[in-house]
């Protein structure tokens, strides 16, 4: 009994290392959100379907798919498909996500020029070889292009340079 | 029948040759050609970025340009594969196998020249098919009731998600998530806010551009940052006179072009099998039919020309179900359809009758665009190759800015830039977990129409769900769905037996 429970524990440990386990879990999570929110919008009848029918049905399908996915991960041999986070690029990811955030913030308070410059400048540091000078040069070039094309040519309603405060 | 089609095509040329439409078409193919060469920038991301900028122009010009990006990129993709051994775009991955060895032997120019010729032949066939097949399909589809259309959509969604790259079950999951994203917002029939979680910005639904740029823009940058290495540009100097093939080479390549055309057009008739599958099948066909199959991979011209031709023939053919039935076969087609919908044009069988200028103008522009690409490709290869020297570290920050301004321009709303960030993170998590998020777009674009026809079908049948199997045409579509799933399971089980493990089966399930 002891060995049996040990083996189950070992295979469970093995299971939670699989990529497909997490893939399935994510689908089950998203499916549950839909399947639990759906019924709050009236399911209706088959003849006169309510707005809640589709989300609920899709949620249930997604949960089923997630269960199959996660279940299939049990059958994967040990050591395979386990690298969920190989060579993380934290710096790259952070800079790429920070770029649009900077764009939103500076775009709202300062206008197109600071938004463009800031977005490109921050994103450029996602590369490991980025230098201050190169990033600044790139940002200036893209900003100039952006002003010419998006402000003058396409007339996007974002002021070039203002101060709106927060 | 033929006469009316040709007369319509004639008017189409009139539309496509109007100066402003011609300008958009030329702009589209040039931009497409350029991004086709650049690694890390695909037609999907480019079309999504430029999509908001087309809101202000006429629908005809918009669709001409966006479609031009798609097929222009295919010509560029071949350059990248043959000269640099870089499979930047999935349909051209297989071209590297024999294309790059040819380049190393100093025959890269010939390989490119012949693949341009083959591409033109393949595309021409695809366009011809569209001219004659689309009106017939429309006649057929106009007889369909909601039950038939609903089953057909289900077939399209299923084929698009299971036959694409990666594991079929993950593909279906992506489509379902796309359908759910399509539900977000105010329900048209009852006015109830669904899945908005109280966020007022979501009452109008998820923005197509934000979703597309999140999963194909930001997620892709996160995937490739610090991974794209410097390129080997030693062989990339191609001149016009290098591209002229000898008689013997032409004689070897011509049959491969015709076989590629055939493979491509067959693939485009099966919903869901896009250009990538067509090019792989074409390569396998060439290898099988060759007298020297073991020489493939060392620079066989057939292995370059066949797949390239198939890609182009299949891409043009993919427009047939998209434009005539309103059912896109893959994510790019879904995006183009989404572009039309934003312009207020309802896709479906009535599109050709209601907007003949769009359909026939598009068909005519295909020919104009393809001829332009053949002419331009030669002098522009040098320029594109120079652009390749732009390192990724400069490319992705600039592209990221284009993503931001593109999403902002869609509705002049900063909230949607934030939406894009969220979809970017979500898309990257999905990529990491082994999903290919492209089918999500398919579900998203088709979702609202799918739900509406489903509801209507059941209303008309007075709640009788058997309507889908009792009506013969609908039953036929559902039978194909079942066959499709059955075949996937069969292939999986067979592979598992043959290879002794389910993991490779999941990858070859495509």
pLDDT tens across A34-82, in order? Answer: 999 888 887 877 777 788 888 999 999 999 999 998 888 877 766 666 6
| Max Cα-Cα span within chain A | 77
In chain B, pLDDT over 90 holds for what percent of residues? 19
Q: Tell me the pLDDT of chain B averaged across its residues.
A: 85
Give the other-Cβ count within 10 Å of A166's Cβ. 5
Could A41 and B194 be called an inter-chain contact, meaning their C-beta atoms sit closer than 8 Å? yes
Lowest mean pLDDT among A124-128, A136-140, B40-44, B312-316: B40-44
Substitution target in A103, A135, A142, A145 with the highest count of B β-carbons within 10 Å is A103
B447 vs A101, residue with greater confidence: A101
Whether residue A159 lies inside any domain: the answer is: no
User: Which among B169, B418, B465 is the nearest to A46, CB-wise?
Assistant: B465
* Token pair recorded at residue B116: 């341009």
Could A49 and B394 be called an inter-chain contact, meaning their C-beta atoms sit closer than 8 Å? no
Lowest mean pLDDT among A13-17, B27-31, B305-309: A13-17
Residue found by looking up tokens 């037609």 in the block: B43
Section B21-50 average pLDDT = 86
What's B24-35 look like in SS3? HHHHHHHHHHHH
Section B92-113 average pLDDT = 86
Lowest mean pLDDT among A5-9, A26-30, B53-57, B104-108: A5-9
ipTM: 0.91
Same domain, A60 and A8: yes
Inform me whether the C-beta atom of residue B250 falls under 8 Å from chain A C-beta atoms. no
B143 burial class (0-12, 13-18, 19+ CB within 10 angstroms)? Answer: exposed
Going by C-beta distance under 8 Å and a sequence separation of 6 or more, which residues neighbour residue B42? B35, B73, B88, B89, B216, B220
Inform me whether the C-beta atom of residue B405 falls under 8 Å from chain A C-beta atoms. yes
Q: How many domains does chain A have?
A: 2
B241 burial class (0-12, 13-18, 19+ CB within 10 angstroms)? Answer: exposed
With beta carbons less than 8 A apart as the criterion, state whether A84 and B432 touch.
yes
pLDDT in the model for residue A83: 65
Q: pLDDT per residue over B341-366, tens digit each?
A: 888 888 888 888 888 889 999 999 99
pLDDT in the model for residue B428: 93
Spatial separation of the C-alpha atoms in residues B318 and B315, rounded to whole Å: 5
Measured torsion, CA atoms of residues B80, B84, B86, B92, in degrees rounded to the nearest 10: 40
A14 vs B413, residue with greater confidence: B413
Measured torsion, CA atoms of residues B11, B13, B17, B23, in degrees rounded to the nearest 10: 120
* Token pair recorded at residue B299: 């620079």
Strand partners, B194: B185
Cβ-Cβ contacts under 8 Å, A89 against chain B: 222, 225-226
Q: pLDDT per residue over B277-289, tens digit each?
A: 888 889 888 888 8
* Token pair recorded at residue B282: 């074409």
With beta carbons less than 8 A apart as the criterion, state whether B141 and B281 touch.
no
Cβ-Cβ contacts under 8 Å, A76 against chain B: 501-503
Q: pLDDT category, B331, cuts 50, 70, 90?
A: confident
Substitution target in A19, A54, A113, A159 with the highest count of B β-carbons within 10 Å is A54
What's B13-78 look like in SS3? HHHHCCHHHHHHHHHHHHHHHHHHHCCCCCHHHHHHHHHHHHCCCCHHHHHHHHHHHHHHHHHHHH
Q: Is the pLDDT of residue B446 over 80?
A: yes
Cβ-Cβ contacts under 8 Å, B420 against chain A: 100
Spatial separation of the C-alpha atoms in residues A65 and B172, rounded to whole Å: 8
pLDDT in the model for residue A96: 92
Spatial separation of the C-alpha atoms in residues B209 and B211, rounded to whole Å: 5
Q: pLDDT category, A137, cuts 50, 70, 90?
A: very high
Same domain, A97 and A132: yes
Domain ranges of chain B: 2-508
With beta carbons less than 8 A apart as the criterion, state whether B173 and A32 touch.
no
pLDDT in the model for residue A28: 94
Going by C-beta distance under 8 Å and a sequence separation of 6 or more, which residues neighbour residue B345? B59, B351, B355, B358
For B199-212, give the DSSP string.
Answer: -GGGTT---HHHHH
Whether residue A70 lies inside any domain: the answer is: yes
Q: pLDDT per residue over B107-140, tens digit each?
A: 888 888 888 899 999 999 999 988 888 888 888 8
Q: pLDDT per residue over B137-151, tens digit each?
A: 888 888 888 898 899
With beta carbons less than 8 A apart as the criterion, state whether A10 and A59 touch.
no
Q: Is B186 helix (H, G, I), strand (E, B) or coil?
A: strand
Q: Characterise B272 by phi-psi region: left (phi > 0), alpha (psi -120 to 50), beta (else).
A: left
The residue range of the domain holding A97 is 90-153
Q: Is the pLDDT of residue B510 over 70?
A: no
With beta carbons less than 8 A apart as the criterion, state whether B137 and B325 touch.
yes
Q: Is the pLDDT of residue B507 over 50?
A: no
pLDDT in the model for residue A157: 82
Inform me whether the C-beta atom of residue A70 falls under 8 Å from chain B C-beta atoms. no
With beta carbons less than 8 A apart as the criterion, state whether B32 and B46 touch.
yes
In chain B, pLDDT over 70 holds for what percent of residues? 93
- Long-range contacts (CB closer than 8 Å, 24 or more residues apart) made by B12-16: B12/B356, B12/B357, B12/B359, B12/B360, B12/B361, B12/B362, B12/B363, B12/B364, B13/B364, B13/B368, B15/B60, B15/B357, B15/B360, B15/B361, B15/B364, B16/B64, B16/B361, B16/B362, B16/B364, B16/B365, B16/B368
pLDDT in the model for residue B228: 67
Helical pair B108-141 and B356-388, crossing angle rounded to 10 deg:
160
Structure pTM? Answer: 0.86
pLDDT in the model for residue B236: 65
Could A62 and B180 be called an inter-chain contact, meaning their C-beta atoms sit closer than 8 Å? yes
**Buried-state track A94-106, b at ≥16 Cβ within 10 A, e below 16:** ebbbbbbbbbbbb
Closest CA relative to residue B388, chosen from B112, B81, B149, B5: B81
Strand partners, B193: B186
Total count of residues recorded for chain B: 510
With beta carbons less than 8 A apart as the criterion, state whether B442 and B216 touch.
no
pLDDT in the model for residue A7: 76
Q: Is the pLDDT of residue B394 over 50?
A: yes
Q: Is B304 helix (H, G, I), strand (E, B) or coil?
A: helix
Q: pLDDT category, A84, cuts 50, 70, 90?
A: low
Inform me whether the C-beta atom of residue A110 falls under 8 Å from chain B C-beta atoms. no
Whether residue A24 lies inside any domain: the answer is: yes
Q: Is the pLDDT of residue A120 over 90?
A: yes
Section B452-457 average pLDDT = 88
pLDDT in the model for residue B211: 92
pLDDT in the model for residue A80: 64
Inform me whether the C-beta atom of residue B504 falls under 8 Å from chain A C-beta atoms. no
Could A58 and B405 be called an inter-chain contact, meaning their C-beta atoms sit closer than 8 Å? no
- Pairing status of strand B185-186 against strand B193-194: antiparallel
Q: Is the pLDDT of residue B385 over 90?
A: no
């Amino acid at each position: 009994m002891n060995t049996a429970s040990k083996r189950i524990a070992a295979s469970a440990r093995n299971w939670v290392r699989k990529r497909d386990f997490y893939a399935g879990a994510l689908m089950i999570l998203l499916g549950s959100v839909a399947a639990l929110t759906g019924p709050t919008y009236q399911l209706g009848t088959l003849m006169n379907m309510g707005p809640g029918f589709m989300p609920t049905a899709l949620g249930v399908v997604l949960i089923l798919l997630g269960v199959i996915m996660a279940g299939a991960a049990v059958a994967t041999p040990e050591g395979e498909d386990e690298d969920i986070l190989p060579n993380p690029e934290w710096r790259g990811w952070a800079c790429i996500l920070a770029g649009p955030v900077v764009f939103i913030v500076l775009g709202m308070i300062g206008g197109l020029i600071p938004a463009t410059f800031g977005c490109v400048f921050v994103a450029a540091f996602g590369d490991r070889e980025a230098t201050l000078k190169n990033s600044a040069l790139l940002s200036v070039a893209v900003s100039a292009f952006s002003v010419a094309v998006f402000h003058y040519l396409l007339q996007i309603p974002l002021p070039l340079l203002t101060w709106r405060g927060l | 029948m033929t006469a009316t089609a040709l007369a319509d095509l004639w008017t189409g040329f009139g539309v496509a040759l109007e100066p402003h439409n011609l300008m958009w078409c030329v702009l589209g193919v040039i931009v497409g050609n350029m991004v086709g060469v650049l690694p890390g920038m695909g037609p999907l991301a480019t079309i999504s970025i430029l999509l908001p900028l087309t809101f202000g122009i006429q629908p005809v010009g918009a669709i001409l340009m966006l479609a031009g990006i798609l097929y222009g990129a295919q010509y560029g993709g071949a350059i990248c594969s043959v000269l640099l051994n870089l499979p930047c775009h999935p349909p051209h991955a297989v071209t590297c196998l024999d294309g790059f060895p040819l380049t190393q032997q100093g025959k890269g120019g010939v390989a490119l020249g012949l693949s341009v010729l083959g591409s033109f032949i393949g595309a021409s066939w695809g366009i011809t098919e569209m001219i004659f097949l689309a009106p017939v399909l429309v006649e057929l589809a106009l007889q369909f009731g909601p039950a038939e259309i609903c089953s057909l959509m289900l077939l399209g969604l299923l084929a698009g998600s299971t036959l694409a790259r990666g594991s079929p079950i993950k593909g279906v999951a992506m489509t379902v998530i796309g359908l759910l994203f399509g539900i977000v917002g105010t329900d048209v029939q009852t006015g109830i806010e669904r899945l908005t979680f109280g966020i007022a910005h979501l009452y109008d639904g998820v923005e197509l551009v934000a979703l597309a740029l999140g999963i194909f823009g930001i997620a892709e940058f996160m995937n490739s940052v610090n991974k794209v290495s410097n390129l080997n540009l030693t062989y990339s100097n191609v001149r016009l006179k290098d591209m002229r093939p000898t008689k013997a080479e032409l004689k070897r390549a011509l049959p491969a072009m015709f076989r590629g055309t055939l493979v491509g057009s067959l693939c485009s008739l099966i919903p869901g099998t896009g250009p990538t599958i067509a090019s792989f099948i074409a390569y396998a066909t060439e290898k099988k039919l060759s007298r020297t199959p073991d020489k493939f991979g060392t620079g066989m011209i057939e292995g370059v020309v066949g797949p390239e031709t198939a890609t182009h023939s299949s891409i043009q053919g993919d427009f047939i179900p998209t434009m005539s039935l309103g059912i896109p076969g893959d994510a790019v087609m879904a995006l183009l359809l989404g572009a039309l919908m934003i312009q207020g044009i309802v896709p479906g069988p009535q599109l050709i009758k209601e907007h003949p200028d769009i359909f026939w103008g598009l068909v005519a522009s295909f020919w104009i665009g393809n001829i332009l690409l053949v002419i331009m490709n030669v002098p522009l290869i040098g320029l594109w190759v120079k652009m390749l020297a732009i390192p990724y570290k400069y490319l992705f920050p600039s592209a990221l800015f284009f993503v931001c301004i593109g999403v902002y321009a869609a509705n002049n709303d900063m909230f949607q830039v934030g939406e894009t960030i969220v979809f970017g993170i979500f898309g990257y998590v999905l990529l990491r977990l082994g999903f290919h998020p492209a089918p999500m777009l398919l579900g998203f674009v088709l979702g609202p129409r799918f739900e509406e026809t489903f509801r209507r079908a059941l209303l008309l049948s007075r709640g009788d769900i058997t309507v889908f199997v009792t009506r013969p045409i609908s039953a036929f579509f559902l039978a194909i769905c079942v066959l499709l799933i059955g075949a996937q399971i069969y292939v999986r089980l067979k592979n598992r037996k043959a290879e002794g493990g389910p993991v490779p089966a999941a990858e070859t399930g495509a």
